[in-house]
Structure 1
Amino acid sequence: MCGDGSFGQLGTGDTQSRNLPFEVPSFTTKHVEKLAFGMRHSLVLLKDNSVYGFGSARRGQVGKSASKNQKFCNTPRLIDGFPNCKIVNLYANGDHSAAFDESGQLYIWGRALVGEHDDDQPRAAFPSLSISQVALGWHHALVLSGGELYTIGAYRHQKCDPSVSENAVAQKLNLTTTSSKHHGTPHNF
């Protein structure tokens, strides 16, 4: 890895930035399968199905903190909360994280996409759907299931269907009423 380390997102145990690529000490003897990077945090999936997070912990996006006031975690921390499932991919954006399992379930944690409060434990976001594709936006998530598009997250920013006003409930997206707004980074259309 290399780059900005000001929130510990390089996993080196400090907050120094690195200009040259280096191997993260915690993973030198591990088989890394997948990586995902959010605004100020990093996620790693190992071959043994363990998921680690490090970097900004302000909204729970790297898992459970030692204390509620901990602003960042500069060494990789194991993220629990994947009950008897095989994780196949990781996603990160802004201040939230997600893991996708082989049965098509999506687990989300960090910034409040599921419920009204930030969450440091992975939660099933679409328990009744078998998901085939995932995309995380700045304040929301989009998933594809059976050819239908569903969304969850910050509707107050109208990133998805403007007729939806709830934050915690997964909604089927009606593409015939959704406008194509260009807002910069946080949009999906």
Structure 2
Amino acid sequence: MTNACAGLIIARCNKLVSRVIVRSSSLLSFASDRDPKEAEELPVHRYVSKKHKPVNMVYACGLNSTGALGVLSRTKTAKHLTSSSYPHRVHLGDLRISTADCGYGYTVLGTKSKDMIKVYGMGINTESQLGYHKSRRVTDGDDENLHYDFLMEPSPIGIPFEKYKNTKVVQVACGRAHTFVLTDKEGVFAFGNNSHGQCGRRIIEGELFQGSRKIQHISQSRWPSPVKQIACGMDHTLFLLEDGRVYSCGWGADGQTGLGHYNKTAVPQEVKGDLAGVKVVKVSTSADLSLAICDRGHIYGWGNSEYYQLGSVTDATQVHTPMRLPFNTVGKVTDAAAGGTICCLLNDKGQVWVWGYGILGKGPDLMDSKYPEHIPMTLFGQSHFNPDVRVTKVACGMNHFAAVTNKYELFTWGKNKYGCLGIASNRDQYFPWKVLLAVPVRDVFCGVDHTIIIARSIV
């Protein structure tokens, strides 16, 4: 290269750099002269630092007329969202949600907060299943204290913790109209309808639950072993203790309490039958059927069997004593869920099995089964390219299923009432279908006509 050519190239480069500098200066000048209101409309990009800790986010789908989704319109002119067929983000501010559950038209959320308020609720509150919430309205010039029967957005539930700073909410459980809160140090708290003794306290004839301030507290000292898990059915409650024993109370007309009779029980009593001497690791119920899993991977059932839920061991439609179910081909059971007429279980290989009556997940030709039917893993995303896919969590609503995989993906199927499957459609789903979420799913909870999803944030 000649000196003349080299000089020409250097001159052109200097001229290009000067243009870039002038252009950058003009842009900075333009930005500084811009109206602040216009600057607020510019997109803001957030970048994740190395110190960022992901937090749980809550999504909801299904019926929202009751407020169970806690999703409000963001504009004053828009109508209230009556239902949603795809998951909506529930805006909870800086609340650190750790657990949730779905009742019949309402939702309860538990947090990791060290403040006095650790539990929030939304939805139907006609039986004080979300606690007491006073409103003040003016009627004919007089002040009148009223009770909110519906909470359309997440609202704090006041629970009388003794030492709230050191107490953690381990779990929340919801029934038809009663709620339990399990803590790590202060036992359990219950509120809502107790007409059948489902809150674990004495039944008072004619008791009014609307606007009730009553909160039942059962301390740890009243149990032979600390409570590990609580499961609420329609009008009964199951308590799993750390030593593996199961206690129950509430409505027993279908034998769902498992106490050997069909009567109401106000004080929690131990469930025996085939569970005697067995260490239970999980219980499940949502309507009138109860399931339990022991540490050896066997499954037990009692309660309503009108839809073949217990058809593998009996022809009776009500079973008041736990019976071991002869599901010898499913392997070791690690998780199970009982719906209204449907049931499912998960084995140690991450495989899902379903039985009962309804849309079970193997197409329109399979509507009932006394014995578990295996759902192919390919329907949950397993393939030659993803051979290690396995299901880690299963859940049941009244008529729909949900499953979470080790890839943090959510699949739903069954009756799609009010879009509770979250698949952006109101059609019933006969096979597991992936719910499209851009965040990893950690847990899922199914109600009668809505679903709550806990996902992990990325940013």
The residue that corresponds to 1:150 in the other structure is 411
State whether structure 2 residue 383 is matched by structure 1 residue 133: no
Change (3 A) 1:159 1:89: same
Q: Confirm or deny: 8 A CA contact 2:255 2:321 kept in the other structure.
A: yes
Q: Confirm or deny: 8 A CA contact 2:311 2:370 kept in the other structure.
A: yes
Deviations 1:125-145 (A, max 9, x none): 353331123232221112122
The sequence identity of aligned pairs, in percent, is 24
Taking the TM superposition and a 5 Å limit, the aligned residue runs for 1:86-165 are 86-114=332-360, 115=363, 116-128=366-378, 129=380, 130-145=390-405, 146-155=407-416, 158-160=419-421, 161-163=423-425, 165=427
The residue identity in structure 1 corresponding to 2:281 is E
The residue that corresponds to 1:79 in the other structure is 325
Deviations 1:1-25 (A, max 9, x none): 1111110112233211211111123
The residue that corresponds to 2:431 in the other structure is 169
Gaps in structure 1 of 5+ consecutive residues: 177-183
Change (3 A) 1:186 1:105: same
The residue identity in structure 1 corresponding to 2:393 is Q
Distance between the aligned counterparts of 2:294 and 2:424, measured in 1? 39
Deviations 1:146-173 (A, max 9, x none): 2332111113653222537454222222
The residue that corresponds to 1:49 in the other structure is 297
Q: Confirm or deny: 8 A CA contact 1:63 1:109 kept in the other structure.
A: no
Comparing 123-132 with 98-107, greater Cα deviation is found at: 123-132
- For the pair shown, which has the larger CA radius of gyration, 1 or 2? 2
Q: 1:36 aligns with which of 281, 284, 287?
A: 284
State whether structure 2 residue 322 is matched by structure 1 residue 62: no
The residue identity in structure 1 corresponding to 2:358 is A
Q: Confirm or deny: 8 A CA contact 1:10 1:74 kept in the other structure.
A: yes
Distance between the aligned counterparts of 1:174 and 1:119, measured in 2? 30
Distance between the aligned counterparts of 2:349 and 2:373, measured in 1? 15
Q: What's the TM-score, normalizing by structure 1?
A: 0.81
Change (3 A) 1:7 1:84: closer
Distance between the aligned counterparts of 1:84 and 1:94, measured in 2? 22
Distance between the aligned counterparts of 1:94 and 1:140, measured in 2? 9
Q: Confirm or deny: 8 A CA contact 2:330 2:347 kept in the other structure.
A: no
Greater per-residue strand proportion: 2
The residue that corresponds to 2:215 in the other structure is none
Q: Confirm or deny: 8 A CA contact 2:411 2:435 kept in the other structure.
A: yes
Deviation at 1:113, TM superposition (A): 2.8
Comparing 123-132 with 101-110, greater Cα deviation is found at: 123-132
Deviation at 1:38, TM superposition (A): 2.6
Q: Confirm or deny: 8 A CA contact 1:152 1:169 kept in the other structure.
A: yes
Deviation at 1:175, TM superposition (A): 4.7
The residue identity in structure 2 corresponding to 1:19 is A
Gaps in structure 2 of 5+ consecutive residues: 1-247, 381-389, 439-446, 453-459
Greater per-residue helix proportion: 2
- Count matched residues: 180
